[in-house]
Amino acid sequence: MGNLWKHFKTITKHRTLVMVLCFKVGLYWQGLTHDLSKYSPTEFLAGVRYYQGNRSPNAAEREQNGYSLAWMHHKGRNRHHFEYWTDLRPSTRQYLPVPMPTKYLVEMCMDRIAASKTYNGKAYTDRDPLTYMELARETQLMHPDTMEKTLYLMRMLAERGEAETLRFIRQCLRKGEELPREQGLGCTGGQ
């Protein structure tokens, strides 16, 4: 019973952090609806069973079973995960990543910041989301365009801080401009 309450508090804290961050960049609907599937039986019950408090329960489920049903359920219903954005290329009959639309890429960045804050607590720094990304080795699974834009924003966060990064993202979204790639090209506001 203790894990039930702890898991509920953890996912609710995470959702609240994402909501606040999404509101700051102007993604109000996404902030309100972020990760609602975590309260579904498939995800919530696995979260309670594999709860650890310092990392995603999906990792523990994956270690025990070789896969995580909760994660597969989650990534298939939440467009802010780059894993959602794969499709079958007709010419090769292979599933390959496709570029993420900007609003979901931004929500993914807000999700990564909030996850780092949730799991690192008071030890959190603005470099943590970039460090996580560097260690995760996602480059083969994420579309290059999505990777370059995400890296740009995570490096900006690490180097310039949260307030400036969120202001920059909001300005790009308001203007309807493309987010910059790692090479530093793109939205002119804030560079």
The average pLDDT across 67-91 equals 95
pLDDT in tens, 115-155: 999 999 999 999 999 999 888 877 778 999 999 999 999 99
Q: Residue 75 — φ and ψ, nearest 5°?
A: -65, -25
Residue 106: closest CA among 8, 47, 30: 30
Tokens of 110: 């807000």
Strand partners, 89: 94
Residue 108: closest CA among 81, 126, 142, 138: 81
Structural domain contains residue 148:
yes
Structural domain contains residue 183:
no
Q: In the chain, how many domains are there?
A: 1
Structural domain contains residue 106:
yes
Among 103-107, 169-173, 183-187, which is the least confidently predicted range?
A: 183-187
Report the C-alpha gap between 20 and 30 in whole angstroms. 11
Range of 162's domain?
Answer: 79-175
User: pTM here?
Assistant: 0.91
pLDDT in tens, 47-56: 999 999 888 9
Residue 189 confidence (pLDDT): 44
Report the C-alpha gap between 20 and 24 in whole angstroms. 6
The average pLDDT across 146-169 equals 97
pLDDT in tens, 11-35: 999 999 999 999 999 999 999 999 9
Structural domain contains residue 50:
no
Q: CA geometry: angle at 165 spanning 126 and 142, to 5°?
A: 80
Residue 184 confidence (pLDDT): 46
Structural domain contains residue 118:
yes
Report the C-alpha gap between 96 and 53 in whole angstroms. 33
- Which amino acid, one-letter code, is at 138? E
**Is it the case that residue 190 has pLDDT exceeding 60?**
no
The average pLDDT across 4-12 equals 96
Structural domain contains residue 94:
yes
Structural domain contains residue 33:
no
Structural domain contains residue 125:
yes
Report the C-alpha gap between 61 and 150 in whole angstroms. 27
